[in-house]
Structure 1
Amino acid sequence: MQTKNSTVRSPSAVRNALSRFRRFRGGGLMEYPYVQALADHKWSIALVAMAFLLGRAMILEQLSPFALAYFAVIYYLRRELLLWTSFSLLAGNLLAVQPQIGHIAVQLGVFYLIQQALGRYDRTELSHAPMIVFISSFSVRLFSYMVNGNLTWFSLMMTSIESVLGFVLTLIFIQALPVFTLKKKNTQLRNEEIICLIILLGSVMTGTVGWLIGPVSVEHVLSRYLILLFALVGGAPLGASVGVVTGLILSLADIHAVQQMSLLAFAGLLAGLLKEGKKAAVSIGLMLGASILSVYIGSQDEVLVSTLESGTAVLLLFLTPKSLISLIAKFVPGTQENLKSQYEYAKKVREITAGRVEQFSEVFRQLAGSFKHFGIDGQEVRKDEEMGHFMNSIADRSCTSCWKREKCWETNFFQTYKFMTDMMTSIEENPGFSKEDIPVSWTRICVKSEAVMDIMKQQYDLYKHDRHWRKQINDSRHLVAEQLSGVSQVMQDLAMEIKREGQEMHIQEEQIRLALEKLGLSIHTIDIVSLEEGNVEIEIVHQYTKGFDECRKIIAPLLSDIMGENIVVKSEQYSDRKDGCYRVVFGSAKEFDVETGIAAAAKGGALLSGDSYSAAELGNGKFAVALSDGMGNGERAKMESSAALAILRQLLQTGMEEKLAIKSVNSVLALRSSDEVFATIDMALVDLYSAKTTFLKIGSSPSFIKRGGEVIPVSANNLPVGILQDIDIDLVSVQLKPGDILFMLTDGIYDAPGPAVNKELWMKRMIQEIEAETPQEIADCLLEKVVRYHHGDIYDDMTVVVAKIEKFRPEWSTIRWPGVSRIERPKTVS
């Protein structure tokens, strides 16, 4: 039985109603077109609403500098809202305590006319806006006082103050309004922009002066809500700053609100100090600060009203969605949200960069394939086709006018072709072939055998030159293909390195900071570049004390204990900051150290040797010891050997594979000059983590490894670079041990005993007799022994490079500090 007013709803209708409610609660409200339109224009609506409040805002109930300054900035940033902004400013002024709609309207009109006049000469710039505001405000006010006959010193002073305030407010709004107008906003605001934004919001709140909801003042509620919001986001400094600025602006609008400045500043400070407790703790801090000062400043009724206003602001804070708080926090430097947004932006840039590098790598790979394919096609020209073209050219020049042409090339074709082939073979084997060498059998076949021979010799010279340059072109194409392939591989490795997922490491940075501050060190900034095991890189800016080496004696040992591996000082330089700070880079220590010594002497005791040497860390965990001997002696040999080493070192530092780097150097030296110039290359690449050493020996003398009393030779049979286009490269890998001494020699030392002596045995004996300890002393002793062997004569350039492998030993032991735990390394995903 149903009553008259009751209705029956079907299950489907109930489900539809529930789905609409869920959409409304979960954001489905955006599906409605009007709501979507409002969301799309939310910033425009906010700007127009701010214009209404700024039009109503006044200072000392006489001055209204906000309207014209706001109108001027909107003119440049959002000109499509200019008409709506004008109406909103005038409408707001109608509701002011003392409306001045006439003055404001005329000021807006004068400003607009000046801008239109400047626009005709293309002189409209945002930097001109403050001065135009000053001129418009001052001229309109001055003209009004002169027409009304009220021009006095006081009115002139107030006009000047209003114009100057308009000038300053324009500068402030230029900094603050882009936060609301720009579609692509910065991920971080500067401190100046934050202060300008606070001044703008405080000016907007001035438009609510005089609005009451019962005993509660709207501007007091909004100012405390603003303090709660920024204190929750930025902590005590930002909360106190907002309180001071907001209180100052409100006191200018209402002279009776001077005490609000100290109240809001103290409340903002207490609220910011309790930031870590989230909304509840920040609210308690505000209410506590406001209540304490209200007791001293006002009566009992005023304390109750102040508490009610604070409670209303707290209620608004709890009703504020987290998304809005996170949005504000993204723009405030130092917040977690700001760091996260910067990390996400950097990650996006890293992914885009890696994609672009991969595209370039693919382009270079395709180009390398094209050059290789083209070169192969050029080399696959068949011999019979070349021979056919060769024979045709000879026949065209010698047989066209011959009376036996048809008989030779039609009746006796095979006999004539064999005659031509035999003649070409004879000329190829003996370029000085003459008419006296022509067999009698040829004269019987051809009546113009001498003329054919002369033409064939000329064509053969052209054919030989053509083959030579074709080979040069093919070799160049092959070199370009190999270089492009190597560049493609290097770029692919770079893209993989870029794509390696980074980690936010502010937690580890704070852990290191706390550990160092416990030791009493003054640390300014800590930036962790990498925490990968074996590849740690940390930059620390700290106060430097002259006479003390805190970096190596305190910071590095403490970091070694925290990281669980040996950390050393990589570099140290004076910071750009002018406060006596140093920027120090700490990194992982290698497992092995390489100490080198070099001794050299030029031929005949000259100043310039044709040998070049190099010993340097490549930056990828490898140490390179290299030696090169240029052809001959003197400056030209020095240029060739140094060029070979410089090119090879740079290619290896880019990450290029060793064999390809050697081939590239060989091709460059072979193509750079038509002269016969070449250079030997002897390089040892020592892995500083495992001591595994790779030898690259191109035409060089054998190297030797002294291990205790044993001497081990290392040799390879290859021609020097720059002679042949294609060379076979043999890489010799040897596992070195701590205490091993590596000797690398040029032929001036290796060939010193002469051809009658077993050079390898002689060199082993010389090395075994050396009792020096340091690499430099060893190199000097070996060179001195060789020179003494020849009684002081130096018959060739001599160079010896000695490298000693030692286990790394830190200068200082690690520091174990109570309460400091091992750092947690982020897991890197490749």
Structure 2
Amino acid sequence: MGEKLRLLPLRRLAGWGPGLQQLASGALGALMAAGSVFGGLHPFGLALLMGAGTARLWAAGAGVLAGYLIFLPLADGLRYLAAAAVVLAGRAMFPKQFWPAAAGGCGTLLAVQLMLAVSGLAGPPQSVAAVGDAALAAAWGWGLFRAGARARRGGPLGAESLLLCCAGLCGLQQLPAMGLQPGVVVLAAGGLALAFRGRLRDCAIFCLCGAGALAAADPDLCFAGLAVAVGCLAAAYFTPGERLGCATLFLAGGLLGVLAAPQSSLAVGFLGSAALGEAAFFALPARLLAALPGQTDPAAAQRPRVAGAVSQLESVASALTGIADTVNQVYETLPRRGESYNWVVDYVAEELCRTCGSRERCWVQDYSTTMDGFYRLKPILEQQGRAALEQLPGQFCRCIHPTELCSCSSRGYALYRGRRESRVKAGAMRAALTEQYSAMAQALSQMAGQLGQSIAPDVGKTEQLGRLFASIGLEPLECQAGFDAAGRLRAGVTVSRTPFSQQELSEITEEAQRILHRPLTLPRVDHCRAVTTITFSEQPLYFPRYGLAARPAKAGACGDAVEQFCDCFGNAHLLLCDGMGVGRPAAIDGTLAATLAARLLKAGFGAQSAARLVNVALALKSDEESAATMDLVTVDLYTGRASLFKAGACPTLLLRGGKAQALEGSSLPVGILEQVVGQQDSVALNEGDWVVLVSDGALTDGSGWLCQQLELCAASGSTPQQTAELLADMALKRAEGRRRPDDISVAVLRLERAVD
């Protein structure tokens, strides 16, 4: 939609009618006919007639004929007029073919030159020039014909437009301008427009080709073309989207060109022409600049085009939240049926007493006595599930169907209990479903926020990285390198599905570091269907050193599960999940919670979202109650900021500056309630700081001795693995003699500096 709006001014301009287009074609034809290169060759008029589209051919032909008559000497003009007439005739007879018209025009040009040479009116230099004229006309016309036959794929500048611009610049130099250089004016204005749009490659192509055209038209203007190219390229690279910045850098390039001018008069003319070019650039309306074909907004060029993906993720998150809210609201408004013991009484009255002759006496005259009997029967049904004849209360001594009353009451209570159990299970499933929807919505919203963070792409680094993969035989399908809001380098390359060994990844990383000029970690490789995505991240400031020791209470089964890993977002994670109890059931719960939470964290989920999904998984795992504590520490390796999340976990030991402390929090394990009751906190870590997670089996004598021992281990230079082993062994000795032994796990993380 935005692109269509930007193109709207040009569409309105194109809608002014075919008359304006024909007039422009005629003016262009006259200008190209006047164009001169290499000291007297005029091939562009013939080239235009050879390659122009049929819709503009005759208007261009009229302009070319007029240009030859007006701008060329009479003798030369007649020679080119004859060739132009033959070309028009060839295009009229063979409108979709190039070579008949080209052969006729070039042949006519050479035939006239041959007659002049035979008659002695022209010498060998003129004959050689005629051959060059014919060759240039045929080559330029072939380029126009081919470029006009198909739309240029990719990029804002078409090959046809570039050829016409270069020929037009040569023609502008033949116009009288009182010492100014019209070609320089147009080249400067066009180059600045492209520079403002941030199109570095297109600006380079336009300016360098234009500089070559000016040098071919007048060798003395070689300095002018190069000066314009230098100024426009500097503006496109350093200040895209800034008019004043582009003009300032262009002026600096122009001053360098003045120093290279061969004559002072040319230098003055160049300065005046450059100033007019800048004035024309400033005079262009902003809407017209934004409507340049194929161009994008410079601000949008500074970030990846992920707005659609972000919007879609936000829409999905909103939809999931809406589903969860709707299900809960509908459940609250539905009527509750069969939720009390009175339903059993109504069932007996309907099934048994409706046809009984004593109905009037039992349910009208002695109603209170009957209801009292049913309520005295309730404890018996709750305890045994059925009632025997001898267990009937005395209030039913007048019942004429005691046996049927016992069986009907038992059957009604069984139905009542089944409906109650079904309602409880349905409520649990509903709560789990809505909680899962809400957790997924929260996670998707977080991902949308991460995806929507602006990234400033680096065009040069992107191109070099793409060439690196192309040089090893992996042509990139997509490639981007740039910096996020925090100034961290991010790069991603998508290629056809390819497996990589560890050595290959190391070699690719070394080459990428040389290109990107930043230290990189080993890339993350993701395979999705037929493509493979390699993601590079700048090496963080810190590096985690892990240690782990476990002492199970029963051989072969440990209820504690630990995960230690770094994700692709520059975070280090230390996760400990303790299944309730010991042995195999606890091991299943702890491993399930730790494995699922680790996978969610690696995918980019937050701690709260991961805990909510783990809570749902444990609740639905089986009919038996399942629960596990969740203790998570996430450290941003770029800043050292640590986030702590606890759900029923033991205190976290933190050592900073050689002093250890225990961080506690009130929370409940996951899997117990419908919603997670956790606690989050954050602390700042520096190089050399320690974080230790322990299961409740290590806290037999509290956390004081753990803090003291941690300080001693850090002071003695012990590694994290040695510290974990020592703390686990000491906790095991302190737990000897306990009536109910418990699993002991110690997970250690020490933050070390990775980049100097």
Q: TM-score, normalised by structure 1?
A: 0.58
Asked if 1:418 is matched to 2:372, the reply is yes
The within-5 A match list for 1:497-576 is 527-531=482-486, 536-538=487-489, 571=521
CA displacement at 1:671 relative to structure 2: 0.9
Q: Quote the residue 2:163 is aligned against.
A: 199
Q: Quote the residue 1:104 is aligned against.
A: 88
1:730-781 residue CA offsets vs partner (Å, 9 max, x unmatched): 638697998876554446x549xxxxxx654998699589866222112223
Indicate which of 387, 397, 422 corresponds to 1:469.
Answer: 422
Indicate which of 673, 677, 687 corresponds to 2:622.
Answer: 673
Q: Quote the residue 1:91 is aligned against.
A: 62
| Contact persistence 1:705–1:742 (CA under 8 A) | yes
The within-5 A match list for 1:436-455 is 436-444=390-398, 446-455=399-408
Q: Quote the residue 1:128 is aligned against.
A: none
Q: TM-score, normalised by structure 2?
A: 0.63
The within-5 A match list for 1:775-794 is 775-784=720-729
| Contact persistence 1:368–1:481 (CA under 8 A) | yes
- The alignment partner of 2:562 has SS state of strand
CA displacement at 1:810 relative to structure 2: 7.5
Q: Quote the residue 2:434 is aligned against.
A: 481
- The alignment partner of 1:342 has SS state of coil
Name the CA distance, whole Å, in 2 between partners of 1:663 and 1:695: 12
CA displacement at 1:598 relative to structure 2: 0.3
Asked if 1:322 is matched to 2:319, the reply is no
1:265-312 residue CA offsets vs partner (Å, 9 max, x unmatched): 3331245456776787777777876754xx9xxxxxxxx9x8998799
Which residue type is aligned with residue 371 of structure 1?
V
Q: Quote the residue 1:52 is aligned against.
A: 26
| Contact persistence 1:624–1:685 (CA under 8 A) | yes
> Mind listing any 5+ residue stretches in structure 2 that lack a counterpart?
1-8, 34-40, 69-79, 115-127, 196-202, 233-246, 460-479, 493-506, 526-533
| Contact persistence 2:48–2:141 (CA under 8 A) | yes
| Contact persistence 1:528–1:539 (CA under 8 A) | yes
The within-5 A match list for 1:542-691 is 571=521, 586=538, 589=541, 595-600=545-550, 606=556, 609-616=558-565, 624-630=573-579, 638-649=587-598, 661-684=610-633
1:1-30 residue CA offsets vs partner (Å, 9 max, x unmatched): xxxxxxxxxxxxxxxxxxxxxxxxxxxxxx
CA displacement at 1:200 relative to structure 2: 1.6
| Contact persistence 2:454–2:485 (CA under 8 A) | no
C-alpha change, 1:551 and 1:425, in structure 2 (3 Å) is same
C-alpha change, 1:286 and 1:364, in structure 2 (3 Å) is same
Indicate which of 670, 685, 696 corresponds to 2:646.
Answer: 696
Name the CA distance, whole Å, in 1 between partners of 2:133 and 2:583: 87
Name the CA distance, whole Å, in 1 between partners of 2:42 and 2:10: 41
Asked if 1:70 is matched to 2:52, the reply is yes
| Contact persistence 2:537–2:568 (CA under 8 A) | no
**Which range moved further: 776-785 or 680-689?**
680-689
Q: Quote the residue 2:211 is aligned against.
A: 243
Name the CA distance, whole Å, in 2 between partners of 1:274 and 1:687: 43
Name the CA distance, whole Å, in 2 between partners of 1:461 and 1:505: 72
| Contact persistence 1:110–1:136 (CA under 8 A) | yes
User: How big is the alpha-carbon RMSD for the aligned residues of Structure 1 and Structure 2?
Assistant: 6.1
- The alignment partner of 1:467 has SS state of helix
Q: Quote the residue 1:396 is aligned against.
A: 350
Asked if 1:429 is matched to 2:400, the reply is no
| Contact persistence 2:376–2:393 (CA under 8 A) | no
CA displacement at 1:471 relative to structure 2: 1.9
1:587-610 residue CA offsets vs partner (Å, 9 max, x unmatched): 7747xx86431023567764x755
Which residue type is aligned with residue 546 of structure 2?
T
> Mind listing any 5+ residue stretches in structure 1 that lack a counterpart?
1-34, 73-81, 112-131, 179-185, 251-259, 296-303, 333-337, 507-524, 557-567, 576-581, 752-757, 813-830
Name the CA distance, whole Å, in 2 between partners of 1:584 and 1:572: 7
Q: Quote the residue 1:300 is aligned against.
A: none
- The alignment partner of 2:630 has SS state of strand
Q: Quote the residue 1:12 is aligned against.
A: none
- The alignment partner of 2:550 has SS state of strand
Which residue type is aligned with residue 529 of structure 1?
D
- The alignment partner of 1:320 has SS state of helix
CA displacement at 1:613 relative to structure 2: 0.2
CA displacement at 1:797 relative to structure 2: 8.4
Identity %: 17
Asked if 1:381 is matched to 2:336, the reply is yes
Name the CA distance, whole Å, in 2 between partners of 1:349 and 1:163: 43
Q: Quote the residue 1:32 is aligned against.
A: none
C-alpha change, 1:734 and 1:366, in structure 2 (3 Å) is closer
CA displacement at 1:668 relative to structure 2: 1.8
The alignment covers a number of residue pairs equal to: 632
Which residue type is aligned with residue 67 of structure 1?
L
| Contact persistence 2:571–2:636 (CA under 8 A) | yes
CA displacement at 1:614 relative to structure 2: 1.6
Name the CA distance, whole Å, in 2 between partners of 1:735 and 1:618: 20
- The alignment partner of 1:626 has SS state of strand
| Contact persistence 2:596–2:614 (CA under 8 A) | yes
| Contact persistence 2:652–2:662 (CA under 8 A) | yes
